[in-house]
Chains A and B, each alone.
Chain A
């Protein structure tokens, strides 16, 4: 069905289609619309799941964990401070191998209070064992939320998945949306280690170094196994529903001499910048990273790279830029831009490309920088 929706409403609509048994959530700007809409679906009977209105994000993830270990499908959504408040349980969910799906509406972290888009919230959770994907349109938010359940619950993976969408820029933007009936695209959840009172077991028992080490290696193996599962899920999604995204979305990339690499809604802005630059005779292209974990293997050799980070690791640098430097052995021009909802237009991005200084870092809009 063709409709219009915000990014938040699209996520809620996708969750409705996959029918989680338990949703536990706590409201936070700019995520609120997701949990309000799901509460509405549950109240009206459009969704048969249990909605637990918990008293904190720590409890939201704890409740999802308690439900998930019984074999139930679970969902939650949060943002920024909420995500950081649940940090302990975010780790727990991955360590317990629970296929929880969470939408995170990317927002800056205080102080001071700032409710606008920034990726630092989710980037701070990048080492927890969650798969992380970042979307750029309302349709992609919907499609990716559907795919997230199938990927998380795949028995080669059994790790939680975080679907990230930019606060306000996407969460509150109205765009066209085609909703679907996923049918058997998402098979029933069969959690192999679900609690069984007829076969009592200890979960998360005191664990010595050897076993702890092995369990961490198993998470890493599952993370690696998720690469083909993501590919297969995207392929099947494209066959059934006609849309394909990939681990990174390319735009005029094939013959590009200079490539803008970014994430989230900045990626769509970068595509307009590429068209502008092409008009000026610059062979520019764009690569929008979707999956941060598992981190994509990209061959970027022979091109100049401009990386835009909507995040920062103090005393280190742009996290995406440095990840690409380490993984793809490039010397990019690293631009820090868009923190706390700073407006970054296609003109600005075209400017980054025109003024690029490979091997250096610039903070957009800061005096003495770009």
Chain B
């Protein structure tokens, strides 16, 4: 077992929803990062979770910035710290909307410039802070307030987009696997250059499941192969244990979908599309892990 520090940087006074995966993820991110860290947060659930001025529930400096601006703001911060001879970690903590949609230009620019920072996208697959509208990260078939009939377009392949920038480190993680997340954040912060971690954040009110089921829902995402845990370090892909097991013997996708109100009434065609995308993703990553492509 990895020794996880007892220090808490997410204090017990957040305004997160019950069962919130985003604050759970952030708790382990900050335990790994430690106190010499600044968070850059664009508009997302964490804008609210951290509390209302003059209070803050986060025990590191947090720079809140406009929706599209997080990666660019972090670029400036990272350069300024380096110029001042400081080794402070600059971590963007952004939701999926602020990453795959409105923030992707700034993200691409920062990665192209090899900005020395860690970008974490916590992905609850919709605009959660504004009440669950679809984002580019919402999967096919999921009902949101702006896709009341279920989304008809596929989830954007954010990881492939980021991988195309050749970052120092890219990993996926899931709120249900905090040890794995902790290790990945620790590794990312030990490397120079642009690092990226994409964390699945099963959201009880958004995905419409009971708030004590967050961890279970995250496990089902991984076990069904809908979410694959892997790392890409200087281009080399490693599929992590839980996903390796899922690739050999996955639980049925329907088990993952059935527990979520957002997929209620999903049609066969959408389920097939989700399945085929998951299989293709797994195949592609397996080939990469074997060094075939």
Contacts and interface: CB of A to CB of B under 8 A. Distances in A.
A315 interface: no
A65 B76 contact: yes
Contacts, number: 163
A59 B72 contact: yes
Contact of B65 (A66, A72, A208): A66
A121 B74 CA distance: 27
Interface stretch (B35-43, B173-181, B209-217, B267-275): B35-43
A216 to B, nearest CB: 14
Given A72-B84, A88-B66, A201-B61, A58 B73 contact: no
Contacts of A64: 76
Interface stretch (B49-57, B191-199, B223-231, B257-265): B49-57
Contacts of A58: 68-69, 72, 105-106
Interface residues of A, number: 42
Interface string A181-202: 0000000000000011110111
A202 B113 CA distance: 27
Contacts of A147: none
Contacts of B38: 195, 197
B226 to A, nearest CB: 32
Contacts of B83: 21-22, 49-50, 72
Contacts of A314: none
A123 B186 CA distance: 48
Nearest to B59: A200
Contacts of B75: 24, 52, 54, 59, 62-63, 66
Contact of A21 (B58, B61, B80, B112): B80
Contacts of A255: none
A60 B73 CA distance: 9
A204 B76 contact: no
B72 A205 contact: no
A326 interface: no
B278 interface: no
B7 to A, nearest CB: 13
**Would you call the interface of chain B mostly helix, strand, loop, or mixed?**
mixed
B133 interface: no
A56 interface: yes
A66 B40 contact: yes
B52 A55 contact: no
Contacts of B80: 21-22, 50, 66-68, 70-72, 74
A232 B169 CA distance: 52
Contact of B53 (A50, A63, A72, A207): A207
B108 interface: yes
The bracket for how many chain B residues form the interface is 35 or more
A317 interface: no
A55 B106 contact: yes
B109 interface: yes
Given A55-B108, A200-B61, A70 B69 contact: no
B60 A200 contact: yes
Contacts of A208: 52-53
B103 to A, nearest CB: 10
Interface in A69-94: 69-72, 74, 88-89, 92
Contacts of B54: 205, 211
Given A74-B76, A197-B38, A205-B62, A59 B56 contact: no
B63 A206 contact: no
A316 interface: no
A203 interface: yes
A208 B88 CA distance: 31
A296 interface: no
Contacts of B62: 200-203, 205
Contacts of B55: 202, 205
B106 A67 contact: no
A14 B88 CA distance: 31
Interface string B3-44: 000000000000000000000000000000001111010000
A195 B63 contact: yes
Given A21-B80, A67-B79, A206 B52 contact: yes
A22 B40 CA distance: 18
A66 B56 contact: no
B234 interface: no
Nearest to A208: B52
A195 B76 CA distance: 13
Given A58-B68, A195-B38, A205-B50, A50 B63 contact: no
B63 A197 contact: no
A200 B52 CA distance: 15
Contacts of A52: 75-76, 79, 113
B145 interface: no
B47 interface: yes
Contact of A205 (B37, B51, B60, B78): B51
10 contacts: A49-B83, A50-B80, A56-B109, A65-B76, A74-B80, A201-B61, A202-B51, A202-B56, A202-B64, A206-B47
Interface of A: 21-22, 24, 49-50, 52-56, 58-60, 62-72, 74, 88-89, 92, 195-198, 200-208, 211
- The 10 A-B pairs with the shortest beta carbon distances in the complex, nearest first, are A66-B76, A55-B109, A63-B76, A59-B72, A202-B56, A67-B76, A204-B64, A62-B72, A62-B69, A66-B73
Given A88-B69, A203-B62, A205-B56, 7 more contacts: A50-B79, A50-B83, A59-B71, A65-B69, A66-B72, A72-B80, A198-B35
